């Protein structure tokens, strides 16, 4: 069992917690998307605001449909919380369509989220569920590449997403590095290429790269079928730590320890893949 991740410090005034924003889709099965984010954020001690982008119909076996939220309503949710509650960092997950990506990019640019703005932006470029069900319209890939990734403080694709975004098939260290460079070339400040889906490996090497820095965290793969929401949970850990003012490499060190512990505590539900489980944090597992 891995070491317990360090506690994030409490808010300076001891009363108002650090706040973050997740811009993401709902998972009716409670394992990924907004639900994964909210569970982890709560247990990491940060207050999470939510801009809902889509409502998916899914259970442990897969996604059978979804309804997008009107892009103006997505933009309004972001503006409403950022201008009142204030946030230390934001995260994107499922964005469903070109219209929603455009609304998110415009609003984030206005509000200083990502890019050269003061609020870090974690872009988890969600394209499909773990079962391969699409969560992003095919034509929206260009918007992901051309307008959202250039605003990312850190972009966090898995290997399937890397292939769709960069065309690079990551099979080892060299191709992983080439893929990270391709993501930096798109304009991301940091690229995290997650190795969890590497074939024929009992390790999960995650490579974090910027133009002048890098960090490789190579851990043993946790052998579980119940890893639904793992990518969301890692990105939530990054977002929480960035909101506390940690650097991107420090945030990754925290987030990787967090998701590893959540994978170790994952449980089966339904007939398919169960969720990663941040409830270990309160000793329920
Ligand atoms: O884990 C990626 C993800 C994000 N958001 C939603 C999802 C999924 C995967 O199924 O359903 C809503």
Q: Burial of 139 by CB count in 10 Å (0-12 exposed, 13-18 middle, 19+ buried)?
A: exposed
φ/ψ region of 125 (left if φ > 0, alpha if ψ in -120 to 50, else beta) reads: beta
CB-based contact 150:188 (threshold 8 Å):
yes
Residue 46 included in any domain: yes
Q: What's the CA gap between 55 and 107, in Å, rounded?
A: 21
Q: Is the minimum distance from the CB of 129 to ligand 1 under 6 angstroms?
A: yes
Q: Report which of 231, 174, 168 is spatially closest to residue 197, judged by C-alpha positions.
A: 231
Residue 10 included in any domain: no
Residue 231 included in any domain: yes
Residue 1 pLDDT exceeds 50: no
Residue 4 included in any domain: no
259 three-state secondary structure: helix
| Segment 8-30 mean pLDDT | 84
Q: Alpha carbon of 258 to those of 10, 26, 145, 203: distances in Å? A: 17, 22, 28, 17
Nearest CA to ligand 1 atom 1: 229
Q: Is the minimum distance from the CB of 29 to ligand 1 under 6 angstroms?
A: no
CATH number of the domain at 90, please.
Answer: 3.40.1190.20
Pull the structure tokens for residue 49: 């605001």
Q: How many domains does the chain contain in total?
A: 1
Largest Cα–Cα separation, the chain: 49
Residue 2 included in any domain: no
pTM beyond 0.85: the answer is: yes
Task: Quick: pLDDT tens for 224-262.
Answer: 999 999 999 999 999 999 999 999 999 999 999 999 999
Residue 13 included in any domain: no
Domain that holds residue 203: 19-279
Question: Which atom in ligand 1 lies closest to the alpha carbon of residue 24?
Answer: 5
Quickly count: other Cβ atoms within 10 Å of residue 196's Cβ. Answer: 20
Residue 104 included in any domain: yes
Ligand 1: centre distance to CA 56 (Å): 8
Sign of CA dihedral 242, 135, 66, 97: positive
Residue 117 included in any domain: yes
Residue 132 pLDDT exceeds 80: yes
pLDDT exceeding 90 applies to what percent of the chain? 87
Pull the structure tokens for residue 234: 């890692």
């Amino acid at each position: 069992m891995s070491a317990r991740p360090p506690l994030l410090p409490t808010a300076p005034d001891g009363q108002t917690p650090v706040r973050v924003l997740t811009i993401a889709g709902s998972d009716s099965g409670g394992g990924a998307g907004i639900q994964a984010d909210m569970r982890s954020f709560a247990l990491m001690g940060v207050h999470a605001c939510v801009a809902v982008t889509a409502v998916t119909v899914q259970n442990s076996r897969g996604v059978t449909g979804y309804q997008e939220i009107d892009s103006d309503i997505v933009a309004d949710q972001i503006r409403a919380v950022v201008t009142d509650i204030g946030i230390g960092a934001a995260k994107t997950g499922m964005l469903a369509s070109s219209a929603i990506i455009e609304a998110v990019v415009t609003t984030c640019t206005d509000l200083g989220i990502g890019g050269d703005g003061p609020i870090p932006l974690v872009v988890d470029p969600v394209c499909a569920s773990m079962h391969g069900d699409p969560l992003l319209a095919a034509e929206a890939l260009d918007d992901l590449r051309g307008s959202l990734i250039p605003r990312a403080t850190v972009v966090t694709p898995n290997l399937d997403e890397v292939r769709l975004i960069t065309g690079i098939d990551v099979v080892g260290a060299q191709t992983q590095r080439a893929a990270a460079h391709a993501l930096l070339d798109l304009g991301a400040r940091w690229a995290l290429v997650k190795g969890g889906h590497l074939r024929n490996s009992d390790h999960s090497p995650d490579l974090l790269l910027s133009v002048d820095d890098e960090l490789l965290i190579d851990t043993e793969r946790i052998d579980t079928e119940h890893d639904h929401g793992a990518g969301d949970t890692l990105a939530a850990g990054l977002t929480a730590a960035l909101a506390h003012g940690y650097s991107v490499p420090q945030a990754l060190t925290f987030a990787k320890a967090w998701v590893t512990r959540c994978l170790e505590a994952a449980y089966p539900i339904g007939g398919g893949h169960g969720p990663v489980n941040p409830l270990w944090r309160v000793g329920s597992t």
